[in-house]
Amino acid sequence: MDKNPENDTSAFDSEKLQNDKRLVMREFGHKIRKNIGRIPFSEDVTASFYCAIDGKSPAFVKAVLFGALAYFVMPADVIPDFLAGIGFTDDASVLMAAMATVQKYITDGHREKARVFLKKEPAEAE
């Protein structure tokens, strides 16, 4: 049994974590590509995605990031994404809070993967 407190997910609802992870894995690439020009924080959110799926990231980091990323990819949230100028404000707030919480785990490697992903053509990235 892993005694490392960073891998303790007892404070998190494991079913919600798995549901968030499934949703993010299914929808993230499409959502970020569809809105790439409208999201000024595309690189940060994509780096967060790579941190969340990194096997070296602690469990609590994955839980925090998958929760925030699930909010980002959900079609309905507090402020609808299609509203020009303010649609991603709530998403940005949730994501920035999550990233601030786990910032030391989002590495230069995650940021480099994000830059590479964001430069690819949509067919290449999927």
Give the pair of three-digit tokens for residue 16: 């919600």
Distance CA 95, CA 28 (A): 13
- pTM, entire model: 0.77
Residue ranges of E strands in 24-92? none
Distance CA 25, CA 120 (A): 18
Please list, in sequence order, all residues whose beta carbon lies within 8 angstroms of the beta carbon of residue 97, skipping any fewer than 6 positions away: 68
- pLDDT one digit per residue (tens) for the chain, 126 residues: 455 555 555 667 788 889 999 999 999 998 888 877 777 888 999 999 999 999 999 999 999 999 999 988 886 654 454 444 455 567 778 888 898 999 999 999 999 999 999 987 555 544
Give the pair of three-digit tokens for residue 84: 């020009």
